[in-house]
Structure 1
Amino acid sequence: MKIGILSYHFPPEPAFIPGSLAEELAARGHEVRVLTGFPDYPGGHVYPGWRQRWYHETHSQRLSVRRVPRYPGGAASVGGRMASYLSFAGSAGLVARRFLGDIDALYVFQLPATTFAAAGVLRLLGRVPAVLHVQDVWARDGVDERGEGRWAARLGATMTRVYRTAARIAVAAPSMRDLVVAAGADPDRVRMVLNWTDERIFHPATPGAAARQLVRRDGRCVVMHAGTIGARQGLE
């Protein structure tokens, strides 16, 4: 198969899920084409040694990565993030028909940052079936002190259109299924796919010092994943 991947982030950014999926699909014999931006996460500045330009495409065995320019201001402010999202959508839309025009299926790593681009690319590709892997959901209402309500509403409305277009929607947690269905997704098209990790790095500890560090004095072994902790989580 010819499989397209649309992702706002991609390695060398810390984007293990779309990166590992692209590598594994290529290793299984599929032709994989990735449409993404130039790396700037998490600092909001293009990585040293990289320069944004209109044509940047790399190839390895069965894997092609096309990078398009975007406004690198995603970490600055609400306006900066939205400028980054919209500029990526515009750039992706300009090259999607030629780069992804003959694919058999499209995988979208669905973050809020990818939403506008996904809507445009799906419209351009027409009947190509798309799988959305939803990692985050923004509510359509609610205004906070930083003025994000207006943009949250636009993102929410665009997400709803994308949900209704997708052939399948993968959600990263059981509770997220209810959120995407409430936002307009067809329940029969929603599947739960738990996020995976690199088992070459993260694996059960062997008995010894590494394991003992996780055991409390009462003998219980406690492991916690707190998720993303940033400015939007309001932890002041």
Structure 2
Amino acid sequence: MKVLLLSQHFWPESFRINEVAQSLVEQGCDVTVLTGKPNYPEGLLFPGYRLGGIQRERREGFEIVRVPLLPRGAGGARKLVLNYLSFLLCATVLGPWALRGQRFDVIFVYGTSPILQAIAAIVLKWLKGAALVTWVQDLWPDSLEMTGFVKYPPLLNAVAVVVRWIYRRCDLLLVQSRAFLGPVRAMAGATPVDYHPNPGDRESQAGGISVSTSLQLKPGFKIVFAGNLGTVQALETVLDAAEMLGPDSGVRWVLIGSGARSAWVAEQASRRSLSQIDLPGRFEPAQMPAIFAQADALLVSLIRGPAMSLTIPSKIQAYLAAGRPMLASMDGEGARVVQEAGAGLISPAEDARALADAVLKLQRLGSAERQAMGEAGRRYYAAHFEPALLAQALVAQFKRAAGARV
């Protein structure tokens, strides 16, 4: 099966779709990736890439075709909007030229925000006569309103109209959370909607550690948060909980990653004299299993809100695979997964006191009880998020969508 994967973000940027592409190749698919020039998260083009022109490369058995875009820069809404729109424009105009003469059975959109990138895939669907499958990772316009990126109701309504138009021109919509099924179906018209979760990290492979790391965590009861340090990660709650417990608790908070609030977190940690918080920066995905193995607990947190309660952050799969107990400071579907797995302790979103209490409770448990939580997480991962099994299911969905067009 010939698959065109369309995603604004792709390797060497760190997104789960990188590994999905590899898994599809292992399932026998002929994969081509249409993407932009890598610049996430720092906002600068990665070494070896130029701003203009189409660039091609091969990796892990598939071809990558890169169209120009404007890098997101150091931050700011204007640059971010231009980054998104420039990819949409170049993928729509230059993508067909770059892919001329190639035929595809399925066009597969990795539907992170903004979902508008799927418009380029709709154009390619018309030109190539292929089935269009979009994998919805964020709910629009809900996530725009929740993050405060857009607050003007008429504009949110206009976005909703565009999203409905996109959904209804797909042949199949997949959603990363079961809680997305209702909201997406309400906008999808006659387009079928099905659940397909994000797989775990192939590097982890249910807890295996194949790559060492230069990061050695400091002594203490080590809580590791890994991923984007952004607006929806409820970092205020994490800092407040750390301040409540204080350094004498023996708890160390290790926040690994970067994002829009990295500088703010560092400033707050310094201002509040939170010496128990470590900010080591970003590490390659291959190093994360070795870092997780040093942790006593793995932390996932989100802000409170309807859209956030429907979301399963992809770090949950990686945490389950790591086999370490989890602390989930969040509501809804993500918390349900952790609770259903028996993999850790839950506290309500944006409740710093409850998070601090959960940390103390986990710290007081015996090592055997914490180990049992980690092992339960690995079993749940193997049953629900194992990459090869989900790749097989994804190929079956592609065949379903392509077959419906015959």
Is contact 1:43-1:75 (8 Å) kept? Answer: yes
Task: Give 1:143 deviation, angstroms.
Answer: 9.6
Q: Is the 8 A contact 2:170 2:191 kept in 1?
A: no
Summarize deviations over 1:175-215 as a string: whole Å, max 9, x none: 11122122x11476111111111243263489xxx599356
Q: Tell me what 2:138 maps to.
A: 136
Pairing of 1:57-68 with structure 2 (within 5 A): 57-60=56-59, 62-68=61-67
- Measure, in 2, the Cα distance between the counterparts of 1:128 and 1:83: 29
Pick aligned residue for 1:181 from 185, 188, 208 = 185
Q: Please tell me the residue identity of whatever aligns with 1:107.
A: F
SS at match of 1:13: coil
Distance (Å, rounded) in 1 between the aligned partners of 2:148 and 2:60: 49
Structure 2 residue aligned with 1:119: 119
Question: In 2 relative to 1, CA 205–6 (structure 1 residues): closer, same or farther, beyond 3 Å?
Answer: closer
Q: Which has the larger share of helix?
A: 2
For residues 151-188 of structure 1, give each alpha carbon's deviation from its aligned partner in whole angstroms, at most 9, with x where no partner exists: 64444332221111111111111111122122x11476
Larger Rg computed on CA atoms = 2
Q: Which amino acid aligns with 2:133?
A: V
Counterpart residue identity of residue 192, structure 1: Y
Q: Note if 1:194 corresponds to 2:197.
A: yes
One-letter identity of the residue aligned with 1:131? V
C-alpha displacement of 1:75: 6.1
User: What 5-or-longer segments of structure 1 have no aligned partner?
Assistant: 225-236
Distance 1:10 1:144 in 2: 23
Q: Matched residue of 1:54: which SS?
A: coil
Compared CA separation, residues 97 and 205, structure 1 to 2 (3 A) = closer
Alignment-derived partner of residue 41 in structure 2: 42
Match of 1:230 in 2: none
- Could you list the runs of 4 or more consecutive aligned residues of structure 1 that deviate by over 6 angstroms after TM superposition? none
| Cα offsets for 1:90-119 (capped at 9, x unmatched) | 100123324175111111000123x33311
User: Which 10-residue stretch deviates more, 213-222 or 103-112?
Assistant: 213-222
Aligned residue pair count: 218
CA contact (8 A) 2:135 2:173 kept: yes
Structure 2: distance between partners of 1:170 and 1:75: 33
Cross-structure match for 1:218: 365
Q: Determine if contact 2:171/2:191 at 8 Å carries over to the other structure.
A: no
Tell me if the contact between 1:29 and 1:62 (Cα under 8 Å) persists in the aligned partners.
no
Amino acid at match of 2:193: V
State the percentage of identical aligned residues: 25
**Counterpart in 2 of 1:96?**
95
Instruction: Determine if contact 1:35/1:65 at 8 Å carries over to the other structure.
Output: yes
Q: How much is the aligned-residue C-alpha RMSD, in angstroms? A: 3.1
SS in 1 for 2:65: strand
Q: Partners in 2 of 1:106 and 1:85 — Cα distance?
A: 20
Contact 1:134 1:169 in 2 (8 A): yes
* Counterpart code for 1:136: D
CA distance in 1, matches of 2:149, 2:202: 39
Supply the AA of the counterpart residue of 1:95. L
Cα drift, residue 148 of structure 1: 4.8
Q: Is the 8 A contact 2:69 2:83 kept in 1?
A: yes
Which moves more between the two structures, 184-193 or 141-150?
Answer: 141-150
Aligned partners of 1:218, 1:138: CA distance in 2, in Å? 41
CA contact (8 A) 1:205 1:211 kept: no
Task: Please report the TM-score for the alignment, with normalisation by the length of structure 1.
Answer: 0.78
Q: Distance in 1 between matches of 2:78 and 2:151?
A: 9
Q: Determine helix, strand or coil for the equivalent of 2:32.
A: strand
Aligned residues of 1:119 and 1:158 also touching (Cα < 8 A): no
